[in-house]
Amino acid sequence: MDLASAKKTLKKYFGYDSFRPLQEKVIDHVLSGRDALVLMPTGGGKSICYQVPAITLSGTCIVVSPLISLMKDQVEGLVANGVRAAYLNSSLTAAQQREIETQFFHGQLDLLYISPEKLTAQHFLPFLKKVNLNLIAIDEAHCISAWGHDFRKEYTQMRFLKEQFPGVPLVALTATADKITRSDILSQMNIPEARTFIASFDRPNLSLEVRPGQKRFEQILAFIQERSETSGIIYCLSRKSTEDLAEKLQRAGLKAGAYHAGLSPKERSRIQEQFINDEVPIVCATIAFGMGIDKSNVRWIIHYNLPKNMEGYYQEIGRAGRDGVAADTLLFYSFKDVMLLRDILGQNPGTQIELQLTKLDRMQQYAESLVCRRQILLSYFGESQQTKCGNCDVCKNPPAYFDGTTIAQKALSAIYRLRQNEPASMVIDVLRGSGKKELLQKGYQQIKTYGAGRNFSLATWQHYIAQLIQTGFIDIAYNERNALKLTQQAHAVLFHNQNVDLVQFSTVKERQEKAKKLAQQQSLSAERNEALFQKLRAVRRRLAQEFGLPPYQIFSDATLLEMAKKQPLNDREIGRISGVGERKRYRYGDYFIDAILDHLSEKKGQKGTTYKLTQEMLKKGLNIQEIAQKRNLSPTTVFSHLGYLYEKGEPVDLSPYISQEEADQISRAIPYLEKPVKLKALFEYFDGKVEYHILRLGIAFYNRNHKSKEQT
Ligand code: ADP
Ligand code: ZN
């Protein structure tokens, strides 16, 4: 079996024209019978790596998968594409299981998804032995390793697969695996010789943005309103805050739900279903949400609070834009959050607290970064990227530095005079000359720098102090109620006039506004024919309900966007859209073509434009019959449109329908007839031997080529 047949499978069942570069390498490797370990980020297209060989080769592939919901989703997706796939796990009744086992036994399946429990059950091995296996795929393979973060005990009992089926290629796949986990997978699966394929973890379609965490709710509201009707997740730190935020959003008229571990399983799955089916597009969730759902059209992610570490952050934002279409991520950052997280970590001592704190530091550095955020992110995951990404807030609006020596001196001197004994909030109050009770009681109004920074707002001071911390002039003593301390560097500023460069606070604000505008321009709306896209989404929703599938299983956003742009009007054209395989074209194609036609006729709904519509359809390569059928018109009417267009000098071609000879004959006859020439009269002139539609085109030919000459 070769790559060419694999490509045919890809087109036929999935509707894609080509493999992604690493997919092709993996598939080539697997088709030649060798084992592989595949690391790709979420949305990287792991499943194609085993699904395509499974369908292309004769026999059945078993896919071991740890999550029941994920199995169901994958199998539904495959079946919708016309692939013979099924799953076996504890969610099925005994009778259902027997039915699937029978199909499997009789070689009626291309893929069987199976839970590790089922696979390792006593009675199953003899079964497996009798089936023609073409491939074994281990999904979420990091579950094998106690080092990984989702360790599953059942996953450690799969050594037998390679022992029992040495000739069947085995491919293990995961989106997260550090070096230890990787070698663990290889040794536990008993495939030490397997080749490892690692894709870049970059997700260039995800925009990255960090904003100061002031007035979060107002900012969130505006953010969502700019992206109306699209799905997104807002991650919050606590259960209560998910509920509060969801309620506030509901009061603002948005459809939002809350999701956290404190809800009953029934309630949780209800919310998940509603989200998957695009019924409730916004979910405010704790980190538990998003695991095990494959929804490809999540368009944005907001972090209401700073995540604990970069791993969690990247995994969470990774749930957006799996379809490869632009998606936006927004992180709110405030220094308060860092304090809060430190406190939380401190309350669970023992669990590698030093490591956790270091990870939090890295997260904070990311949020405060003044260089390309994607570079930081990728370098954290061991990938270096030399060029700036152009899709993060820093790249879109690079910081502008100015001489901030005086500002720094004021802040540092305030800290000095407060005996390095007060946290940032008090330092700022002193600088701004606040009349707060605590301040007055402590007598801080006597201090020389009291009120020296009145000209700046609270937010401005927070911004500058954060910079002084980042650049190493100030330290925070976490163990002394977060008091600010001066570093060696600070002394140089205070006592030796060292200069300090700061990033203008106004540029931060401008940056946000610019980024906002850019986001508006670049987001979906700019790429798509918005109105048509919305109509196609409505069709998708209706079909999803009818077929009992989540909307993204009908077609992905990427596919609908391409349809809105290319506006396919027939079977052939819709088949060329990426994501439209044979089965889906057959099942759903007409519904979408009809919606596009409706849209075009509506858009061109004014008088005279019915001709235009015919012209557009001609341009798309439809023939007269097809146009008549699509538009529910008689072919004669469509021919008269064609004639009209020709008369008006439009670039339409009559030659497929009328010969030069016929056109000349008709042109010669017309001068003998009464004006304006009636078709009926012409018909009789030729003794009924020339068809009406040819006569109509003949008149058009005459009008365009002879009439004017006659008049002059
Ligand atoms: P993963 O399992 O790695 O998270 P998926 O297999 O779900 O990723 O694929 C992510 C998205 O990319 C899906 O919408 C999938 O249909 C799409 N995709 C995968 N391979 C291709 C390809 N070769 N061409 C176009 N789209 C692809
Ligand atoms: Zn960048």
Atom of ligand 1 nearest to the CA of 294: 7
Q: Looking at residue 626, what is its pLDDT?
A: 86
**Probe target for ligand 1 pocket from 9, 10, 14, with the most ligand atoms within 8 Å of CB:** 14
Q: Which amino acid is at 304?
A: Y
| pLDDT tier at 516, thresholds 50, 70, 90 | low
Q: How far is the CA of 624 from the centre of ligand 2 (A)?
A: 51
pLDDT above 80 for 385:
no
Closest CA to 122 of 165, 96, 157, 85: 157
Residues with CB under 5 A from ligand 2 (ion): 372, 374, 388-389, 392, 395
Ligand 1 contacts (CB < 6 A) are: 16, 19-20, 23, 40, 42-48, 296, 322-324, 556, 578
Reported as a single tens digit per residue, the pLDDT across 246-255 is: 999 999 999 9
User: Which ligand has its closest atom nearest to the C-alpha of 515?
Assistant: 2
Integer angstrom CA distances of residue 589 from 125, 495, 544, 592: 42, 75, 14, 5
Q: How far is the CA of 396 from the centre of ligand 2 (A)?
A: 7
User: Which ligand has its closest atom nearest to the C-alpha of 581?
Assistant: 1
Helix, strand, coil tally for the chain in percent (to 5): 55, 10, 35
Q: Which residue's alpha carbon is at the smallest distance from atom 5 of ligand 1? A: 45
**Probe target for ligand 1 pocket from 16, 18, 49, 70, with the most ligand atoms within 8 Å of CB:** 16
Closest CA to 66 of 125, 137, 114, 135: 114
| pLDDT tier at 454, thresholds 50, 70, 90 | very high
Mean pLDDT calculated for residue range 503-507: 72
Reported as a single tens digit per residue, the pLDDT across 664-676 is: 999 998 888 877 7
| pLDDT tier at 31, thresholds 50, 70, 90 | very high
**Probe target for ligand 1 pocket from 50, 75, 113, 323, with the most ligand atoms within 8 Å of CB:** 323
User: Which ligand has its closest atom nearest to the C-alpha of 173?
Assistant: 1
pLDDT above 60 for 515:
no
DSSP H/E element including 114: strand 111-114
pLDDT above 70 for 711:
no
pLDDT above 70 for 606:
no
Q: How far is the CA of 98 from the centre of ligand 1 (A)?
A: 31
CA 639 to chain CA mean position, Å = 45
| pLDDT tier at 297, thresholds 50, 70, 90 | very high
| pLDDT tier at 705, thresholds 50, 70, 90 | confident
Rg (CA), the chain: 33
* Higher pLDDT pick, 437 / 626: 437
Report the phi/psi class of residue 446: left, alpha or beta, with left for phi > 0 and alpha for psi in -120 to 50: alpha
Integer angstrom CA distances of residue 291 from 152, 274, 515, 550: 15, 15, 30, 17
Reported as a single tens digit per residue, the pLDDT across 62-71 is: 999 988 888 9
What does the alpha-carbon distance between residue 222 and residue 200 come to, in Å, rounded to a whole number? 33
Show me where the domains of the chain are located: 3-198, 206-396, 401-509
Phi, psi of 537 (to 5 degrees): -65, -40
pLDDT above 80 for 273:
yes
Q: Can you count the helices (H) and strands (E) in the chain?
A: 36, 17
Q: Looking at residue 712, what is its pLDDT?
A: 42
| Window from 147-156, 204-213, 522-531, 625-634 with minimum mean pLDDT | 522-531
Assigned architecture for domain 206-396: 3-Layer(aba) Sandwich (3.40)
DSSP H/E element including 415: helix 405-417
| pLDDT tier at 710, thresholds 50, 70, 90 | low
Reported as a single tens digit per residue, the pLDDT across 61-104 is: 999 998 888 898 899 999 999 999 999 998 899 999 999 999 99
Q: Which residue's alpha carbon is at the smallest distance from atom 22 of ligand 1? A: 19
Atom of ligand 1 nearest to the CA of 40: 3
Q: Which amino acid is at 601?
A: S
CA 31 to chain CA mean position, Å = 30
What does the alpha-carbon distance between residue 568 and residue 538 come to, in Å, rounded to a whole number? 17
Q: Looking at residue 148, what is its pLDDT?
A: 56
Atom of ligand 1 nearest to the CA of 41: 3
* Higher pLDDT pick, 152 / 429: 429
349 preceded by a cis bond (ω within 30 of 0):
no
User: Which ligand has its closest atom nearest to the C-alpha of 20?
Assistant: 1
User: Which ligand has its closest atom nearest to the C-alpha of 385?
Assistant: 2
| pLDDT tier at 196, thresholds 50, 70, 90 | very high
Atom of ligand 1 nearest to the CA of 10: 23
* Higher pLDDT pick, 371 / 537: 537
pLDDT above 50 for 607:
no
Mean pLDDT calculated for residue range 40-57: 93
Q: Looking at residue 134, what is its pLDDT?
A: 96
Phi, psi of 194 (to 5 degrees): -60, 145
| Window from 52-56, 402-406, 469-473 with minimum mean pLDDT | 469-473
Q: How far is the CA of 199 from the centre of ligand 1 (A)?
A: 13
User: Which ligand has its closest atom nearest to the C-alpha of 38?
Assistant: 1
pLDDT above 70 for 169:
yes
What does the alpha-carbon distance between residue 699 and residue 608 come to, in Å, rounded to a whole number? 19
What DSSP assignment string belongs to 438-495? HHHHTTGGGSTTTTTTTTS-HHHHHHHHHHHHHTTSEEEETTTTTEEEE-HHHHHHHH
Tokens of 619: 């341009």
Q: How far is the CA of 50 from the centre of ligand 1 (A)?
A: 12
Mean pLDDT calculated for residue range 564-585: 91
Common-topology check for domains 3-198 and 206-396: yes
CATH 3.40.50.300 holds for 3-198: yes
Q: How far is the CA of 357 from the centre of ligand 2 (A)?
A: 26
* Higher pLDDT pick, 513 / 275: 275
For the domain 401-509, what is the CATH code?
A: 1.10.10.10
| Window from 44-48, 187-191, 462-466, 584-588 with minimum mean pLDDT | 462-466
Tokens of 177: 């695996």
Tokens of 436: 């707060």
Mean pLDDT calculated for residue range 5-29: 95
Q: Which residue's alpha carbon is at the smallest distance from atom 14 of ligand 1? A: 323
Q: Averaging pLDDT over each range in 448-462, 470-484, 642-656, which range is the top one? A: 448-462
Q: Are strands 170-174 and 36-39 parallel, antiparallel or unpaired?
A: parallel
Atom of ligand 1 nearest to the CA of 18: 23
Total-model pTM: 0.73
Q: How far is the CA of 56 from the centre of ligand 2 (A)?
A: 40
Mean pLDDT calculated for residue range 140-161: 78
pLDDT above 60 for 211:
yes
Atom of ligand 1 nearest to the CA of 42: 4
| pLDDT tier at 523, thresholds 50, 70, 90 | low
User: Which ligand has its closest atom nearest to the C-alpha of 324?
Assistant: 1
Average pLDDT, the chain: 87
Tokens of 541: 């929703």
Q: Which residue's alpha carbon is at the smallest distance from atom 26 of ligand 1? A: 16
Q: How far is the CA of 515 from the centre of ligand 2 (A)?
A: 12
Atom of ligand 1 nearest to the CA of 20: 23
**Probe target for ligand 1 pocket from 23, 46, 47, with the most ligand atoms within 8 Å of CB:** 47
pLDDT above 60 for 518:
no
What does the alpha-carbon distance between residue 571 and residue 561 come to, in Å, rounded to a whole number? 17
